[in-house]
């Protein structure tokens, strides 16, 4: 394996293991034992746990040495075994890691107070840390993790001790309370700035609290350092159940927050107390779906990615302008119009089809059909799209998400969609099941939208995911989603660039309420030459605005619009609806000069209401009359 410092120079995301103590306890080791001593007395058990984490997808495993400093070991009469315990721990972890994971030497606090809060001097503390670090270094670790520190003076001495011994990378992690600060009252902004100044390679948080509070602190830390960040939360706060302490955060819940950690800038993600290989498996799956380290099989060439593998010479690749009318307009830079209509909840699609017929009569270019938006269960989006094209004769733009299908299922679906005549896709990662009414449903996420774009682009070149010829290539027009209001905009733009490199032809934004934000975003992606279609959502009430702002990921309704909707809705239901329509038209006109199309959502399936937004466009009324 390459030196760990090399991966610090990359933009990839890596997964730590979970709790060692939790697993030892679960395997029958009582808490009155010295867990560090097990490196000598029961090395097979320690190695077994390490191996479980590696199998679960951990890229980095920590040595079983959290308490293996002289003062901690003294409580068990084991201070004389310090060197042997730490060397053994490193070698056990190395054996379990093989060439699949890095080994991090874990160093925890001394469990005593140092100056000015206690009698132990800075130099004495540093020497105790140095004794442990030297033994771990002798055992062969790849890096060091200083973890669960509350006192920044203590972690400074630990960092200094390692630096005096070697130049291996150091990840320095503090622990915080529910108020977001350390037990000493130190804020995330302050300890992050200090650790950056003192030379930590990675700055992070672990233990203490669950993922929600860790996430809030990470967002503050990101603003004061350019160093990479790490996050290893507990599986929530422990709950007493009949005298036993249980950590209540499920693996699914932790994996959802793993994605949020990534969006907030974290590059190293794992778990602490209460987390198990089951948690790390789903965290690893989430990271794999979101990480740019996923293999990319295309190279950028103009507006579309070009597959590096050579397709069979006798196959005719369908040019983008010939794939569909929607694709032709996208390629030629013509303005496209569409309305988003949800699939029906049951098996009877007639009402939905009747509403979509109005779109065809009005001259709208396409109907966008979401795929399990907000993790709701409805008729298959693909089945709805086929019914629309066959019975109404208007082109569909099929949303297709990664959440519910593995790679083989997606390949089968896409081949079937092509055979059924569907041509226009919007590829998205998908909302997590926890958002919907079936929170116990499992998510798949074999790949994310970047990987899916790669897959579809390969199909368009006559190759499957294994680079095997499929016969006649598919002819999909590939669209992707983009969020101009993302919390971590740099990360959003980077992922957007990957999508374009993978073969995206156009992008549709989340609903736009902050038009200046959209204009700024488009300016920042001018180097990425694909058309942008703006999402527009005509609000129907103040409650509707509140819901979108607070409960729909990626949507931000500005305070001024919230106030306009509040005031109008207070007058009457009709006044609120009219104000929402007015805002939607204004938003469309304000960004018309920088976009290449518009997707208008139909609130509660009200297609007629959505169509009224288009009246803001010059010539749309006359176009509608011509169509009739």
Signed CA dihedral, 12, 231, 403, 480: sign only: negative
Structure confidence at residue 574 as a pLDDT band (50, 70, 90): very high
Query: 74-127: per-residue pLDDT in tens?
Result: 999 999 999 999 999 999 999 999 999 999 999 999 988 887 777 789 999 999
Domains 4-290 and 300-618 share a fold: yes
- Measured CA to CA, the distance from residue 201 to residue 190 in angstroms comes to 17
The confidence band for 446, taking pLDDT boundaries of 50, 70 and 90, is: low
Helix (H) or strand (E) segment spanning residue 38: helix 38-41
Taking only the tens place, the pLDDT of each residue in 486-540 is 878 888 898 899 899 889 999 999 999 999 999 999 999 988 889 999 999 999 9
Contacts 24+ apart (CB under 8 A), 254-258: 254/211, 254/279, 254/282, 254/283, 255/279, 255/282, 255/283, 255/285, 255/286, 255/443, 256/286, 256/432, 256/434, 257/211, 257/212, 257/214, 257/215, 257/233, 258/282, 258/283, 258/286, 258/287, 258/290
Q: What pLDDT sits at residue 178?
A: 86
Residue in 486, 61, 13, 5 with CA at minimum distance from that of residue 266:
13
Cα 474 to the chain's mean position, in Å? 29
Return the pLDDT at 548. 83
- pLDDT of 434 reads 44
Please write the tens of the pLDDT for every residue from 213-258: 999 999 999 999 999 999 999 887 655 444 444 455 678 878 888 8
Alpha-carbon distances, residue 452 vs 98, 297, 478, 504, 575 (angstroms): 31, 11, 10, 10, 43
The answer regarding whether domain 300-618 maps to CATH 3.50.30.60 reads no
Q: Which of 628 and 318 is assigned the larger pLDDT?
A: 318
Tens digits of residue pLDDT in 352-408: 999 999 999 999 999 999 986 554 567 899 999 999 999 999 999 999 987 777 778
Fold observed for domain 4-290: TIM Barrel (3.20.20)
Q: Say what percent of the chain tops pLDDT 90.
A: 63
Q: Which residues make Cβ contacts (< 8 Å) with residue 113, sequence separation at least 6?
A: 119, 120, 151
Q: Where are the domains of the chain?
A: 4-290, 300-618
Q: Look at residue 243 in the predicted model and tell me its pLDDT.
A: 45
> Which has the higher per-residue pLDDT, 487 or 70?
70
Cis peptide before 533 (omega within 30 of 0): no
pLDDT of residue 536: 95
DSSP letter (8 states) at residue 164: H
* Residue 618 confidence (pLDDT): 78
Q: Are 296 and 454 in contact (CB under 8 A)?
A: yes
Residue from 260, 158, 162 nearest 217 by CA: 260
How many residues are present in the chain? 628
- Kindly report the pTM of this predicted structure: 0.54
Neighbouring CB atoms inside 10 A of 421's CB total 13
Of 153, 138, 173, the closest CA to residue 60 belongs to 173
Strands 14-15 and 304-307: unpaired
In 549-596, at which residue ranges do the beta strands (DSSP E only) sit? none
Does position 625 have pLDDT exceeding 50, yes or no? no
Are the CB atoms for 218 and 160 separated by under 8 Å? no
Q: Is the pLDDT of residue 463 over 70?
A: yes
Which of these, 443, 425, 474, lies nearest to 327 by C-alpha position? 425
| Higher-confidence position of 241 and 448 | 448
| Close Cβ partners of 216 (under 8 Å, ≥ 6 residues apart) | 180
- Cα–Cα–Cα angle for 350, 574, 565, rounded to 5 degrees: 105
Tell me how far apart the alpha carbons of residues 141 and 135 are, in angstroms, rounded to a whole number: 10
In this predicted model, what pLDDT tens digit does every residue of 330-341 receive, in sequence order? 999 999 999 999
How far apart (Å, rounded) are the C-alpha atoms in residues 123 and 157? 8
pLDDT of residue 150: 93
Residue 238 bridge partners (DSSP): 247
**DSSP string covering 327-388:** HHHHHTT--EEEEE-PPPSSS--HHHHHHHHHHHHHT-SEEEE-SSGGG---S-HHHHHHHH
Neighbours of 458 (CB within 10 A): 27
The distance of Cα 551 from the centroid of its chain, to the nearest Å, equals 17
> Comparing 92 with 469, which gets the higher pLDDT?
92
The distance between the two most distant Cα atoms of the chain, rounded to a whole number of Å, is 91
- Asked if the model's pLDDT at residue 626 lies above 90, the reply is no
* pLDDT (0 to 100) of residue 119: 79
Instruction: Check whether 182 has a pLDDT greater than 50.
Output: yes
* Residue 120 vs residues 113, 153, 433, 443: alpha-carbon distances, Å: 7, 12, 51, 50
Alpha carbons 319 and 341: distance in angstroms, whole number: 28
């Amino acid at each position: 394996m390459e030196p760990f410092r090399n991966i610090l120079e990359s933009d990839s995301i890596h997964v730590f293991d979970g709790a060692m103590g939790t697993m030892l306890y679960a395997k029958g080791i009582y808490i009155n034992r010295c867990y560090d001593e097990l490196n000598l007395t029961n090395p097979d058990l320690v190695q077994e746990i390490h191996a479980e984490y590696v199998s679960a997808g951990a890229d980095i495993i920590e040595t079983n040495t959290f308490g293996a400093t002289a003062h901690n070991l003294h409580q068990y009469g084991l201070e004389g075994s310090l060197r042997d315990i730490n060397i053994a721990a490193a070698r056990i972890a190395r054996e379990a890691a093989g060439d699949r994971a890095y080994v991090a030497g874990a160093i925890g606090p001394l469990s005593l107070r140092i100056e000015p809060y206690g009698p132990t001097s800075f130099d004495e503390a540093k020497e105790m840390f140095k004794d442990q670090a030297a033994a771990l270094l002798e055992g062969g670790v790849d890096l060091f993790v200083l973890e669960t520190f509350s006192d920044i003076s203590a972690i400074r001495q630990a960092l200094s001790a390692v630096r005096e011994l070697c130049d291996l990378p150091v990840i320095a992690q503090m622990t915080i309370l529910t108020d977001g600060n350390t037990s000493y009252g130190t804020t995330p902004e302050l300890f992050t700035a200090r650790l950056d100044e003192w030379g930590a390679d990675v700055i992070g948080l672990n233990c203490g609290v669950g993922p929600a509070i860790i996430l809030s602190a990470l967002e503050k830390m990101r603003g004061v350092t350019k160093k990479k960040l790490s996050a290893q939360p507990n599986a929530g706060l422990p709950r007493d159940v009949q005298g036993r302490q249980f950590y209540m955060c499920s693996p699914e819940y932790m994996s959802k927050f793993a994605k949020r950690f990534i969006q907030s800038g974290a590059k190293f993600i794992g778990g602490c107390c209460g987390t198990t290989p089951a948690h790390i498996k789903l965290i690893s799956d989430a990271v794999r779906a979101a990480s740019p380290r996923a293999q990319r099989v295309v190279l950028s060439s103009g507006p579309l990615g070009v597959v590096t593998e050579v397709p069979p010479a006798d196959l005719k690749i369908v040019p983008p302008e010939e794939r569909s009318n929607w694709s032709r307009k996208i390629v030629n830079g013509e303005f496209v119009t569409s309305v988003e209509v949800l699939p029906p909840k049951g098996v009877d699609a007639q009402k939905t089809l009747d509403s979509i017929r109005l779109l065809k009569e009005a001259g709208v270019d396409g109907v966008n059909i979401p795929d399990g938006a907000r993790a709701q269960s409805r008729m298959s989006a693909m089945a709805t799209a086929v019914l629309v094209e066959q019975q109404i004769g208007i082109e569909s733009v099929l949303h297709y998400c990664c959440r519910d299908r593995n790679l083989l299922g997606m390949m089968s679906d896409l081949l079937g969609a092509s055979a059924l005549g569907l041509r226009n896709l919007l590829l998205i990662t998908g909302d997590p099941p926890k958002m919907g009414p079936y929170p116990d449903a499992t998510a798949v996420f074999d790949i994310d939208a970047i990987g899916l774009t790669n897959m579809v682009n390969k199909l368009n070149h006559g190759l499957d995911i294994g680079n095997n010829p499929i016969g006649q290539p598919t002819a999909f027009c590939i669209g992707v989603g983009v969020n101009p209001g993302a919390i971590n905009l740099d990360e959003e733009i980077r992922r957007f660039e990957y999508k374009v490199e993978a073969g995206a032809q156009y992008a549709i934004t989340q609903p736009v309420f902050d038009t200046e934000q959209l204009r700024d975003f488009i300016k920042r992606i001018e180097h990425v030459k694909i058309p942008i279609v703006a999402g527009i959502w005509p609000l129907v009430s103040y409650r509707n605005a509140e819901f979108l702002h607070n409960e729909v990921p990626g949507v931000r309704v500005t305070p001024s619009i919230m106030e306009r909707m509040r005031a109008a809705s207070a007058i009457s239901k009709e006044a609120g609806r009219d104000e929402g329509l007015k805002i939607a038209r204004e938003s469309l006109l304000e960004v018309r000069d920088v976009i290449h199309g518009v997707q208008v959502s139909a609130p509660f399936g009200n297609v007629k209401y959505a169509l009224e937004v288009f009246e803001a466009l010059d010539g749309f009324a006359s176009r509608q009359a011509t169509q009739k």
